[in-house]
């Protein structure tokens, strides 16, 4: 500990990750970070055996088993297991979109959404189908595509029992063939879109 304190307070003393440009005040911090690069996960959940890079990530994961959600939104009282998720959720209420695309200047509330959007400009398609090698810029698109191989059709019409691989195809079918039918309750997997201060939330019906 004393050695680390000396390293931290020494002028210009930094610990650089050997695999990326990141630097750290403590060597132990750099070593923990480096586990992301080498794939080392020494901390194991005793309930499901899932492994983690650091003890903090393990502690957060344990809440998935205990159901503990200690972080509560002060506006809508929704609770979260991680402070980071609460922070992201707060932007739904504030309308804050701190992440801006440098090409088209469109703004986003989450960095991951910006990262996905940037692939539209770069043409990057990192998700590849293991069967036909077709590539996609979003994992969700790959997941949807995989149904063309598996034959899975999870979106079922509640009026005629016809099934579809994509929700949008079910919606088109309903408008074309059942638009004059008596309105029925939404299907179990229907997703309702709610606009809250220009931010779109997706709420799954139970």
Tens of pLDDT, residue by residue over 121-137, are: 999 999 999 999 999 99
Q: Within this chain, do residues 131 and 77 fall inside the same structural domain, yes or no?
A: no
DSSP class per residue in 78-103: -EESSHHHHHHHHHHHH----EE-TT
Identify the domain containing residue 54 by its residue range: 15-81
**What is the pLDDT, as a whole number, of residue 200?**
37
In a domain, 113, yes or no: no
Tokens in use for 20?
């990326």
In a domain, 187, yes or no: yes
In a domain, 91, yes or no: no
In a domain, 90, yes or no: no
Q: Within this chain, do residues 138 and 77 fall inside the same structural domain, yes or no?
A: no
> pLDDT tens for residues 152-180?
999 999 999 899 999 999 999 999 988 87
The helix (run of H) or strand (run of E) holding residue 46 is none
What's the count of helices (H) and strands (E) in the chain, helices before strands?
Answer: 7, 14
DSSP class per residue in 146-201: HHHHH----EE-TTT--EESSHHHHHHHHHHHHTTSPP-PPPTT-EEEEEETTEEE
User: For residues 116 and 12, which has the higher predicted lDDT (pLDDT)?
Assistant: 116
145-152: Cβ within 8 A, 24+ apart: none
In a domain, 169, yes or no: yes
Tokens in use for 16?
């650089």
Q: Work out the pLDDT band at 186, boundaries 50, 70, 90.
A: low
In a domain, 69, yes or no: yes
CA–CA dist 178, 125 (Å, integer): 37
- Domain total of the chain: 2
pTM of the model as a whole: 0.50
**In CATH, what number is assigned to the domain containing residue 77?**
3.30.160.60
In a domain, 120, yes or no: no
């Amino acid at each position: 500990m004393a050695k680390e304190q000396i390293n931290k307070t020494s002028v210009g003393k930094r610990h650089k990750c050997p695999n990326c440009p990141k630097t750290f005040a403590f060597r132990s911090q750099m070593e923990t970070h480096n586990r992301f690069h080498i794939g080392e996960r020494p901390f194991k959940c005793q309930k499901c055996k899932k492994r983690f890079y650091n003890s903090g990530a393990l502690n957060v994961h344990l809440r998935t088993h205990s159901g503990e959600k200690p972080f509560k939104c002060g506006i809508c009282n929704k609770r979260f297991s991680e402070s980071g998720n609460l922070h992201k959720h707060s932007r739904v209420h504030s309308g804050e979109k701190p992440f801006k695309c440098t090409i088209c200047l469109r703004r986003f509330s989450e960095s991951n959404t910006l990262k996905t959007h940037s692939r539209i400009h770069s043409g990057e398609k990192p998700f590849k189908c293991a069967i036909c090698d077709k590539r996609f810029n979003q994992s969700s698109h790959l997941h949807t595509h995989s149904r063309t191989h598996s034959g899975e059709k999870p979106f079922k019409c509640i009026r005629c029992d016809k099934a579809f691989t994509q929700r949008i195809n079910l919606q088109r079918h309903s408008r074309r063939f059942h638009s004059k039918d008596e309105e029925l309750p939404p299907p179990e997997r229907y997703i309702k879109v709610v606009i809250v201060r220009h931010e779109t939330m997706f709420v799954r019906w139970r």
